[in-house]
Structure 1
Amino acid sequence: MSLDSEDPDFVSALARGLTVIKAFGQGADSLTLSEVAQRTDLSRGTARRLLLTLETLGYVRQDGKQFKLSPKILELGYTYLSSIPVWKAAQPVMQQVVDKLDQSCALGMLDGYDVVYIARTPPKHLAYLPVTPGTRMPAHVNAMGQVLLANLSADELDIYFRLAPRERLTKFTLVDEQEIRRTLKKVARDRYALSDRQIHSGIRAIAVPIPSLHGRPEFSLNASAEESRASRSDLIEEFLPILRAAADELSSVL
């Protein structure tokens, strides 16, 4: 049950505290009180009380006029991850994929209009991709997101296309609804998705669903590579069988 913010059971202080935590991030690792207030639309007094409370709990630390999140904040994320059986089981399986391909492997799930990365194992070779657990990407242009969207009902997809933003991230990004729908039909038929430079120029990814005995898949697994290191045919002929074997292994473990 989702509460309205005006509901008496809705705890506004908790909601504001989470808003303060979310104010920090890439490019905003250190903020002043005024900056936190501005980013959260809270008064300076409210922002100050919330920051000091978070500092007392150990989730925020203060250095002069600057506030930063402390490493303890990781406990919140890892508490969630440790509650997902697939997260722990996936670690050795994903490492096997990386060892075989020397390319990154990731595990994701849908959350709203995005696919959220809940685990990622990087390759041995030097490569930079700004993806860590918690990273969100538009589901319809991400390979993991596409294989999960392809399993939604027609009504759920209609809602997705009515509400989800479709921003062009590269010149290859799919933004046309009918084109995306045709892609998802093909994904549902083939049981894999291939996203070619749709999110990051020069990056290709292929993903498969992790089969579930309880209905449609909740998680998906991908492998990604720079276009200079893997062609589309490499992803289908070499990556896909390894990913499918890994997904079946995870399914049987779960």
Structure 2
Amino acid sequence: MANKSSDVIAAFTKGLRVIEAFDAQHPRLSVAGTAVRTGLDRATARRCLLTLVAEGYALHDGKYFTLTPRVLRLGMAALATLPLAQIVQPWLDQLSERVGQSASVAIRDDTEIVYLARAAQKRVMSIGLMPGSRLPAHCTSLGRVLLAALSEAEARAIVERSDLVPHTALSVTDPDEIMTRVAAARTEGFAIIDQEVEIGLRSIAVPLIDGHGRIVAALNLGMAATQERADSLAETYLPELRRVQAGLARVIG
């Protein structure tokens, strides 16, 4: 049954918008910055931020607000209950151990990917990735595989409303070129990213398919650019990724 407007708590909705305003590109926000990112007036943004501080979900240095680890409680519990996250974790642990690289599984949420599970051998990125972390879909191997699962029109619509600001000098920012690479991922069944998210990081991803043939998530391996040439990733790692992909296809409902 659809919710009546009278059943919706407006203040709670605004508080959630404030929490979502923080991300990897905006880890610190002022009242004014929060108002801009949420579309709320400054007084409302300020009250929401101070409420988060009062409840231990944020810190305030007098000008800027930052979220505290406590906010992870809001998402970690939900992620932990997802059957997919529980199913893939041991497979990731074993894959990561076999190849000596970090392995991850993610799903798509509009223009972003959300990490569900991860097994890290070493820290390659400057930001620490964990379940619940988000990155743009258009410039990640996981994201391009997931975009490839959509129709051409659906994928293009997502790319065109994405924030295409380059993360590195190697980032692909032209929508047509991004779509060309998404099309290649659709044809080849995998995607490779060469330092588009962060200099020094390469990755290769494949889709995860359930027992009904639907792409439900993506699996990748990430490694330092000093370890592997981009043109050798498929030869080196694709067989192991395919092995896990096939195994999970038998157990994902």
Task: Give the distance between the partners of 1:195 and 1:64, measured in 2 at CA.
Answer: 38
Paired position in structure 1 for 2:251: 253
Query: Quick one: distance in 2 between partners of 1:217 and 1:207?
Result: 13
Query: Does 2:20 correspond to 1:60?
Result: no
Q: Give the alignment partner of residue 140 of structure 1, picking from 128, 131, 138.
A: 138
CA contact (8 A) 1:20 1:47 kept: no
- Would you say the 8 A contact 1:144–1:207 is kept in 2? yes
Report the counterpart of residue 76 of structure 2 in structure 1.
Answer: 78
Q: Which moved more, 1:220-229 or 1:39-48?
A: 39-48
Q: Cα gap change, 1:20/1:239 in structure 2, threshold over 3 Å: closer, same or farther?
A: same
Q: Which has the larger radius of gyration?
A: 1
Shift of 1:249: 2.0
Distance apart, 1:25 and its partner CA:
6.1
Residue equivalent to 1:170: 168
- Segment drifting more, 66-75 vs 227-236: 66-75
**Contact 1:144/1:221 (CA < 8 Å) preserved in 2?**
yes
- Where structure 2 has 5 or more consecutive residues not aligned to the other structure, the ranges are none
Correspondence for 1:229 among 219, 224, 227: 227
TM-score under structure 2 length normalisation? 0.80
How far off its partner does 1:136 sit?
A: 2.2
Q: Secondary structure at the match of 1:208?
A: strand
SS at match of 2:138: helix
**Equivalent of 1:39, from 24, 29, 34?**
34
**Pairing of 1:118-157 with structure 2 (within 5 A):** 118-123=116-121, 125=122, 127-130=124-127, 131-157=129-155
1:106–1:221 CA contact under 8 A, matched in 2: yes
| Pairwise CA RMSD | 3.3
Residues paired across the two proteins, number: 246
User: Is the Cα contact below 8 Å between 1:207 and 1:220 reproduced in 2?
Assistant: yes
Answer yes or no: is 1:106 the counterpart of 2:104. Answer: yes
How far apart, CA to CA, are the structure 2 residues paired with 1:221 and 1:209?
6
Change (3 A) 1:193 1:19: same
Question: Whole-Å Cα distance in 2 between the matches of residues 156 and 202 of structure 1?
Answer: 31
The answer as to whether partners of 1:147 and 1:192 remain within 8 angstroms in 2 is: yes
| TM-score, scaled relative to structure 1 | 0.80
**Partner residue, 1:205:** 203
Residue 61 of structure 1: how far off its partner (Å): 7.0
1:143/1:126 CA distance change after superposition, 3 Å:
closer
Letter of the 2:192 partner, please give it: L
